[in-house]
Amino acid sequence: MDLRVKKLASTLVNYSCRVKKDENVMIECFGSSPHELIKEIVIEVYKAGGVPYISLKDNSILREILKECSIKQLQFMAKIDLLQMKSIDAYVGIKAHENVSELGDVTGEKMNLYSKYYSDVVTEERVNNTKWVVLRYPNNSMAQLANTSLESFEDFYFNVCNLDYSKMSKAMDKLVGLMNKTDEVHIKGGGTDLSFSIKDIPAIKCPGEFNIPDGEVFTAPVKKSVNGFITFNIPAVFHGFTYENVRLEFKNGKIIKAQSNDTERLNKVLDTDAGARYIGEFAIGVNPFILKPMKDALFDEKIMGSFHFTPGRCYKDASNGNKSAIHWDLICVQTPEHGGGEIYFDKVLIRKDGKFVIDSLKELNSENLK
What is the CA angle 85-91-93, rounded to 5? 110
pLDDT of the residue at 353: 97
The pLDDT tens digits for 202-214 are 999 998 888 888 9
Residue 1 has pLDDT above 70, yes or no: no
Residue 165 has pLDDT above 80, yes or no: yes
pTM of the model: 0.78
| CB 46, CB 19: distance < 8 Å | no
What's the chain's average pLDDT? 93
Average pLDDT (345-358) is: 97
Residue 313 has pLDDT above 90, yes or no: yes
- Which H helix or E strand runs over 369? helix 366-369
The CATH 3.40.1830.10 portion of the chain extends over 3-161
pLDDT of the residue at 168: 86
- Secondary structure of residue 94 in the 3-state scheme: strand
Annotate 47-79 with DSSP letters as a single string: HTT-EEEEEEE-HHHHHHHHHT--HHHHHHHHH
**DSSP label of 337:** G
The 10 Å CB-count burial string (b at 16+, else e) for 328-361 is: bbbbbbbbeebbbbbbbbeeeebbbbbbbeeeeb
pLDDT of the residue at 295: 83
* CATH placement of domain 3-161: 3.40.1830.10
The pLDDT tens digits for 112-129 are 899 889 998 999 899 889
The pLDDT tens digits for 262-310 are 999 999 999 999 999 999 999 999 998 898 888 888 899 999 999 999 9
The pLDDT tens digits for 45-83 are 999 999 999 999 999 999 999 999 999 999 999 999 999
pLDDT of the residue at 282: 98
pLDDT of the residue at 312: 96
The partner residues of 303 in beta bridges, in order of sequence, read 287
Share above pLDDT 70 across residues of the chain, in percent, rounded to a whole number: 99
Q: SS3 sequence, 220-282?
A: CCCCCCCEEEEECCCCEEECCEEECCCEEEEECCEEEEEECCCHHHHHHHHCCCHHHHCEEEE
